[in-house]
Amino acid sequence: MRLLAGVLAALAMFGTAHAAPVNTGHLTAELAPQARGIAPGQTIHVALVQKIQDGWHTYWRNPGDSGEPTAIAWELPQGWTAGDIVWPKPHRLPVGPLVNYGFEGQVVLPVPVTAPANATPGQTVSLKAKATFLVCAEICVPENADLTLDLPVTAAPAPPDGQWGPVIDKALAATPRPAGLTAAFTNDAAGLKLAIAGSVVKGVDLADAYFFPFSGTAIDHAKPQPVERGPEGLTLTLPPGVDFQAGEGPAELAGVLTFGDRAVELTAARGPAPAGAAGLGPPPAKADGAAGGSLGLLGYAAFALLGGLILNLMPCVFPVLAMKAASLASHGGSASARREGLAFGAGVLVTFLALAGLLIALKAAGSEIGWGFQLQSPPVVAFLALLMLAVALNLSGVFEIGGSLQNVGSGAAARGGVAGAFFTGVLAVVVAAPCTAPFMGVALGWALAQPAVAALVVFAALALGFAAPFVAVAFAPGLLARLPKPGPWMDAFRKALAFPMYAAAAWLAWVLTQQAGADGLARLFAAAVVLALAAWLAGIAQRRAILGGRPVAQAVAAGALTVIAIAAVVGPSYAEAPAGAAADTVAEGAAYEPYSPERLAALQADGRPVFVNYTAAWCVSCQVNERVALSTKGVAEAMARNGVAYLKADWTKKDPVIAEELARFGRAGVPLYLVYGKDGAQPRILPAILTEGAVVKALDAAGKPS
């Protein structure tokens, strides 16, 4: 029976979800799955897809001056649950003197659906829903559809649905979400004023900004919303609706702000305007040990230079820098050492500027990303794991590249030294990406909120700081003379350096499991075996060539296998790793919950101090801090005695909400540690490198009454 159940579960992985579209008269509706199946306990999105007849429209959650929103009544098997509709950005639909909010053409309304933990792999369940629409043109017609989706239950998370998976993912990515904006409103004789400030709206065109409230009676939808631009935000004058025409009105105003092709969700509280929109707001949070205020371009470039120097001391770059030091030692104080030093610096500078240019371009296109963004992509992580493995195999002597990858050891061809040094600089930046040094986060956070030229200047300063020590050593014969003389020891040292690179490959494999689960790891391991075979064949070909042979077959096979290995990890899409539990526990019992702006707001409303840890599995600094400071008994006891709630914002995978929060506090990447006191004031920012004592001191201060 167990064998039969296993076979059925395996077959279900290759099944497909099935749904029949229903034509209601003026639109066609169907249920569309995000994945080809659902595992026990898993949540996927099932979308209500509407294909609306030309000239007709349906409505948003707040339909505006007239209309009714689309609604779904689910009929699910026992134990299955469906959440609320994830509403996309609406459009204004003028109808005579009225303005409605809704959609035309194709509309995708995702709904999270969760399978019970005891769902049986191998079975197919029928999800039923009755959808009701008000479809309007010059006239309005109520329509409805009885919809069914047959969805296989799989033993593990199923791959994305070929037709609808990318469509639903795109709809979810474009969904308006909280973006770290600070908003407040006033309602007086001057009218209803909504003031908004934050990095998302700083320096962008806000001429077409418009606020869609969730409440249908908050504003007069048909009247214009004049925009007043501030240095770091904007103020909208809204025509008050019924909610604000009789007395003071609600204490909060929530909705969606649109500008250009962007849409963000916000909640404004009654009160003074935030700084940068109009009037004066609370002072910004300051980091421990960091200067506050604006330092200007030269000041932040100096911070970046210092951060780049300190980055050389971070554990992630030790193996590569050790290889470079050994390479310089092999040349003494010769001109070749100086050439290699300059080539190494050029590799660092070019790679930093290339990453900066890509990051700036993606942010300009609307992506919410930051430093280390490339490691949020499973194909990139898998490729880097193979690259680290290839470097390790090279250092172990399985094969050679130009005498050796970094020209470590005696007898390296001088002809390949400059190219090898340049590539070493590239590799050093690649492995440094998971690290954030002190001063570096502040500088990059500021840079990414500036015009492209200023941002590139700061990144160039970071590159110069990172490359400076080894370029200086290459031009300092006295320092080179202190390095050990070349000799047989260098071959043993080179092979010993392979093991940190094997460790780096293993660590990246672990990161991949956090993003893509066991299936992604299995694919990587298979590709690693193929790559190792390719390296072995390449080594055979190189040794035969030295003896005068022409090992064409081995060389071709090695090249083909390398291409196959890389294609296996970067080609197909990766399924997401199953979501973890709603709360987890670190060593010594300090409990944490997943971060969300809503959970943070609720905890602050309860008067609790809060510690927020912005982290990622690929962030080496974050993992070191986790082991050294955050997972200690002392920190757990400090949290317990002060009643501190611990929230963890995991940025291992792309998350625009976390990216916006990082930008709000002037950071381009993780780690970031915030401590909120009981009074709900601006948080204290802890240093990027933590100690147990510093964390305990901050937690005790947060627990004291204001």
**Segment 369-409, tens digit of pLDDT:** 566 666 677 887 788 788 888 888 887 888 876 443 333 33
Least confident of 89-93, 269-273, 609-613: 269-273
Residue pointed to by tokens 């209309």: 67
**What SS3 state is found at 81?**
strand
- Give the integer Cα–Cα distance in Å for 566 and 562: 6
| pLDDT-derived band at 480, boundaries 50, 70, 90 | low
For residue range 179-229, what is the model confidence (pLDDT) as tens digits? 878 899 988 766 789 999 888 887 777 888 999 999 999 999 988 998 888
Round the average pLDDT of the chain to a whole number and report it.
80
- Judge contact between 500 and 319, C-beta under 8 A: yes
pLDDT confidence of residue 295 = 60
> Distances in Å between the alpha carbon of 29 and those of 21, 25, 124, 191?
6, 10, 22, 42
Q: Is the pLDDT of residue 563 over 50?
A: yes
pLDDT at 481: 61
190 or 27, higher pLDDT: 27
Which residues sit opposite 262 in a β-bridge? 259
Query: CB–CB of 557/537 below 8 Å?
Result: yes
Q: Hey, what CATH class is 584-703 in?
A: alpha beta
pLDDT band at 437 (very low <50, low <70, confident <90, very high): low
State the Cα–Cα distance between residues 118 and 125, nearest whole angstrom.
13
| Residue 119 confidence class, pLDDT cut points 50, 70, 90 | very high
Bridge partner residues of 129 (DSSP): 74, 147
3-class SS string, 230-295: ECCEEEEEECECHHHCCCCCCCEEEEEEEECCEEEEEEEEECCCCCCCCCCCCCCCCECCCCCCCC
Distances (CA, A) of 478 to 324, 333, 473: 17, 8, 9
> Is the CA virtual torsion 389, 394, 400, 403 positive or negative?
positive
Q: For the chain, where do the domains classified as CATH 2.60.40.1250 start and end? A: 2-174
What are the residues whose beta carbons fall under 8 Å from the beta carbon of 336, sequence distance 6 or more? 414, 417
* Cis before 671 (ω within 30): yes
Helix (H) or strand (E) holding 112, with range, is: strand 106-114
Predicted confidence band at 678 (pLDDT cuts at 50, 70, 90)?
Answer: confident
CATH architecture of 178-270: Sandwich (2.60)
pLDDT at 135: 94
483 or 517, which is more confident?
Answer: 517
Q: How far apart, in whole angstroms, are the C-alpha atoms of residue 308 and residue 310?
A: 5
72 DSSP assignment? E
Whether the per-residue pLDDT at 5 is higher than 70: the answer is no
Question: What's the burial of 377, exposed, middle or buried (CB within 10 Å: 0-12/13-18/19+)?
Answer: middle
pLDDT at 590: 66
- According to the model, what pLDDT value does residue 313 have? 72
Mean of pLDDT values over 519-529: 84
Asked whether 110 and 45 are in contact (CB, 8 A), the reply is yes
Task: Give the residue, 486 or 271, on which the prediction is more confident.
Answer: 271
Listed ranges 144-153, 425-434, 497-506; the one with the highest mean pLDDT:
144-153
Single out the residue of 212, 220, 164, 156 nearest to residue 45, CA to CA: 164
Tokens standing for residue 143: 């329509």
DSSP 379-408: HHHHHHHHHHHHHHHHHTTSS-STTSTT--
Q: What's the alpha-carbon Rg for the chain, to the nearest Å?
A: 29
Band of pLDDT at residue 290, cut at 50, 70 and 90: very low
- Interacting residues of 248 by C-beta distance below 8 A, sequence separation 6+: 187
CB-count exposure of residue 288 (10 Å: 0-12, 13-18, 19+) = middle
Task: Tally Cβ neighbours within 10 Å of residue 77.
Answer: 13
pLDDT of residue 284: 41
Q: Could you give the percent of the chain with pLDDT greater than 70?
A: 78
Q: By three-state DSSP, how is residue 80 classified? A: coil
Query: To the nearest whole percent, how much of the chain has pLDDT over 90?
Result: 26
DSSP H helices, 547-619, are: 552-570, 597-605
Instruction: Choose between 601 and 152: higher pLDDT.
Output: 152
Residue in the structure block whose two tokens are 């042979």: 549
**With 90 as the cut, is the pLDDT of residue 611 above it?**
yes
Residue with structure tokens 């296993």?
Answer: 6
d(CA 327, CA 321): 10
d(CA 462, CA 446): 13
Eight-class DSSP state of 111? E
Give the CATH fold of the 2-174 domain. Answer: Immunoglobulin-like (2.60.40)
Opening angle at CA 303, ends 301 and 305, nearest 5: 70
Residues of the chain with CATH 3.40.30.10: 584-703
Mean pLDDT of the 523-552 span: 81
Q: Token pair 């250009």 is at which residue?
A: 260
Q: Which of 475, 477, 476, 472 is nearest to 338 (CA)?
A: 475
Structure tokens at 212: 């869609």
Task: Say whether 586 sits in a helix, a strand or coil.
Answer: coil
Instruction: With a cut of 90, say whether residue 576 has pLDDT above it.
Output: no
Rounded-to-10 torsion of CA 624, 625, 626, 628: 80
Helix, strand, or coil here: 363? Answer: helix
Sequence-distant (≥ 6) Cβ neighbours of residue 633 within 8 angstroms: 588
Q: What is the pLDDT of residues 325-349, one digit of tens each?
A: 656 555 555 677 778 888 888 888 9
Q: Quote the pLDDT of residue 584.
A: 42
pLDDT exceeds 70 at position 292: no
Confidence of residue 473 (pLDDT cuts 50, 70, 90): confident
Predicted confidence at residue 263, as pLDDT, reads: 93
- Confidence (pLDDT) at 120: 93
**pTM listed for this prediction:** 0.47
Range with the poorest average pLDDT among 12-21, 114-123, 159-168, 444-453: 12-21
The per-residue DSSP string of 604-667 comes to HHTT--EEEEEE-TT-HHHHHHIIIIITSHHHHHHHHHHT-EEEEEE-SS--HHHHHHHHHTT-
CB 46 within 8 A of CB 33: yes
The angle that helices 335-364 and 417-432 make with each other, rounded to 10 degrees, is 40
Closest CA to 19 of 128, 130, 158: 128
When pLDDT is averaged across residues 30-50 and rounded to a whole number, the result is 94
Nearest CA-CA partner of 144 in 29, 305, 10, 302: 29
CB 130 within 8 A of CB 66: no
Confidence of residue 175 (pLDDT cuts 50, 70, 90): very high
> Residue 360 belongs to what H/E stretch?
helix 335-364
Q: Where are the alpha helices (DSSP H) in 433-497?
A: 440-447, 452-474, 477-481, 489-496
